[in-house]
Amino acid sequence: MKRINFIKLLSKSAIVIATGNLFGTVLHAATKSVSVTISHVKRYALGIQIEKCIGCGNCVLACKTENDVPKEPFYFRTWVERYLIKKNDDVVVQSIEGGAGKLSTEMEEKDILRSFFVPKLCNHCEKPPCAQVCPVGATFKTEEGIVLVDEKRCIGCSYCIQACPYGARYMHPEKHIADKCTLCFHRIKSGGIPACVEICPTQARVFGDLESKASPLIRLKRMKKIHVLKPELNTEPKVFYTDLDGEVK
């Protein structure tokens, strides 16, 4: 074969492949938009009523059990913080064993101005910085708005851990992947609710679909004043807090 013919053949093959790819992409986009219009897309989120949290830590234990989170006190998908705000405006925050352990207080009760518990977890941000920085796309947002990690794809670089403003991710000591809360994706896919929500004795955690008017979360958002954590970072968190104190970060 002459060189010029070979080059012609090469360029023709390239055009065929490129056209094929383009066609595939268009087809994929078309089918995707069809599926979107047919099915009702849910957008899951969580509400947390701080005034109802009693700091029992059951949510932490339930999460650890449900999701095989390592038992050691360095790895949490969810944890509970206790805030003690003193009369002189000093703030003491504790999260001993994620709220599941015993909290100690070395201050006189009369010095305490107010105290409350704040459950924390992944905020399943609308604009998740962890997904943005993941070099291989192992962290991604599902169409339901839940931020997940593909365990088979994660390379364990920890960049997502650095990028999360909420400290919601940890490096799994055995799997060597950056683990995080999935809102119990396996449960909600089969019609259930997250383990932490189910076990909460005071219903401080409210799970729901933001697209459904009947959702208890929509009712909560309608009835209560809502705040999110670190709104200045523009991550658009989808964990909505009621009665959130300005000291909580």
Options 27-35, 162-170, 182-190, 218-226: segment touching another protein (CB under 8 A): 162-170
Give the whole-angstrom CA distance, residue 25 versus residue 28: 5
Token pair listed for 160: 């997502």
**Binding map of another protein across residues 8-47, x = CB under 8 A, - = no contact:** ----------------------------------------
Quick count: other Cβ atoms within 10 Å of Cβ 5?
9
Options 19-27, 29-37, 92-100, 104-112: segment touching another protein (CB under 8 A): 92-100
| H and E: helices and strands count for the chain | 7, 11
Output phi, psi for 195, to 5 deg: -60, -40
Residues 165/230, Cβ–Cβ less than 8 Å? yes
| Percent of residues in the chain assigned helix, strand, coil, to nearest 5 | 35, 20, 45
Near another protein by CB under 8 A: residue from 8, 12, 153, 189: 153
Q: Does 185 interact with another protein (rule: CB under 8 A)?
A: no
Least Å from the CB of residue 60 to another protein: 9
Q: Does 63 interact with another protein (rule: CB under 8 A)?
A: no
Q: Which is nearer to another protein, 162 or 202 (CB)?
A: 162
Least Å from the CB of residue 155 to another protein: 4
Q: Does 169 interact with another protein (rule: CB under 8 A)?
A: yes
Q: Does 142 interact with another protein (rule: CB under 8 A)?
A: no
Task: Name the residue among 62, 75, 73 with its Cα closest to residue 167.
Answer: 75
Q: Give how far Cα 15 sits from Cα of 24, 101, 173, Å.
A: 14, 64, 48
Residues 106/41, Cβ–Cβ less than 8 Å? no
**Binding map of another protein across residues 102-141, x = CB under 8 A, - = no contact:** ------------------x--------x--xxxxxx----
Near another protein by CB under 8 A: residue from 20, 173, 201, 231: 173
Give the whole-angstrom CA distance, residue 170 versus residue 158: 8
Options 16-24, 102-110, 170-178, 181-189: segment touching another protein (CB under 8 A): 170-178
Near another protein by CB under 8 A: residue from 52, 56, 66, 70: 70
Least Å from the CB of residue 57 to another protein: 12
Give the whole-angstrom CA distance, residue 94 versus residue 82: 5
Least Å from the CB of residue 56 to another protein: 17
Give the whole-angstrom CA distance, residue 117 versus residue 95: 10
Instruction: State the residues that interact with another protein by CB under 8 A.
Output: 70, 72-76, 79, 81, 91-95, 97-98, 120, 129, 132-137, 153-159, 161-171, 173-178, 233, 249
